Amino acid sequence: MALNRYSFRPAMSAITAVSVAIGGLLAGGLASAQTTAPTAASAPRATHADSSFLKDAAEAGHAEIDAGNLAMQKGNAADVKSFAQKMVDDHKKAHSELEALAGSKGVKLPAEATMVAKGKAKILEKRDGTGFDHAYAENQVSAHKDAVKLFEKAAKDAKDADVKAWAAKTLPTLQHHLQEAQALEASTKAADKKK
């Protein structure tokens, strides 16, 4: 049987029709997938005040982690080192939650502590022994008073329900840290006076 160029025409037409049909299905599937997939632009955006809170919380958390790491290296008393480890662990956990929350709201968080916190850390680095322990504890009292105020305000005033809920959930831990820091400050003050 001799084939001529016209013998392939029906087969090619069928292949072309199937290709077009498959292409249409794929394109339609991709189009519907693209319209139903959430995008960063469609994620709920935080208000300016809520964004500021998230950024301030991130900077405060970085400062706590940095100070805790320094205290674990330079701390003199076992209770100072133990408190510092707890601060690092608790603030890393909170920061992890904060990153997820901020990401869902389209907020880019700062990657480090503020310049003021870095300056305080430089001053703290110059201390040694019981003087270091007492200065670290005093800084922790001050930092946690500020953090408690920041989180109380967000737990009360945040416009975004998720931001408000996270602030309210995290607040009791910060209040407990403040109480522990105040007790540590009292004991390190007494130890520093003895030297």
Domain at 117, CATH number:
1.20.1260.10
The answer on 134 and 88 residing in a single domain is yes
3-state secondary structure of 80: helix
Does residue 155 sit in the same domain as residue 113? yes
Long-range contacts, stretch 190-195, CB < 8 angstroms, 24+ apart: 191/77, 191/130, 191/133, 191/134, 192/130, 192/131, 192/133, 192/134, 194/130, 195/129, 195/130, 195/131
% the chain with pLDDT above 90:
73
Mean pLDDT of the chain: 84
Asked if 32 and 120 sit in the same domain, the reply is no
- Give the pLDDT of residue 152: 98
- Looking at residue 20, its pLDDT comes to 43
Domain shared by 174 and 122, yes or no? yes
The pLDDT score that the predictor gives to residue 28 is 47
**Angle of the 115-125 helix axis to the 48-74 helix axis, nearest 10:** 10
Looking at the structure, tell me whether residues 114 and 171 fall in a common domain.
Answer: yes
Q: Are residues 119 and 171 in the same domain?
A: yes
Secondary structure string (H, E, C) spanning 117-183: HHHHHHHHHCCCHHHHHHHHHHHHHHHHHHHHHHHHHHHHHCCCHHHHHHHHHHHHHHHHHHHHHHH
157 lies in the same domain as 106: yes
Mean pLDDT of 30-34: 41
Cα 46-52-56 angle, rounded to 5 deg? 130
pLDDT in tens, 70-118: 999 999 999 999 999 999 999 999 999 999 999 999 999 999 999 999 9
How would residue 1 be classed by pLDDT, with cut points 50, 70 and 90?
Answer: very low
Residues 13 and 88 in one domain: no
The pLDDT-based confidence of 195 (bands split at 50, 70, 90) is: low
**71 and 88 assigned to the same domain:** yes
Counting the structural domains of the chain, the total is: 2
Q: Identify whether residues 175 and 147 lie together within a single domain.
A: yes
Same domain, 33 and 52: no
Comparison of pLDDT for 146 and 33, the residue scoring more: 146
pLDDT of residue 39: 40
Quick one: pLDDT at residue 132? Answer: 96
Helix 48-74 vs helix 129-157: crossing angle, to nearest 10? 160
> What pLDDT score was predicted for residue 44?
67
Q: Which domain holds residue 131?
A: 45-194
Q: Is the same domain home to 69 and 131?
A: yes
pLDDT above 80 for 31: no
Residue 43 — pLDDT band, cuts 50, 70, 90?
low
Q: Check whether 58 has a pLDDT greater than 90.
A: yes
Give pLDDT, residue 192: 72
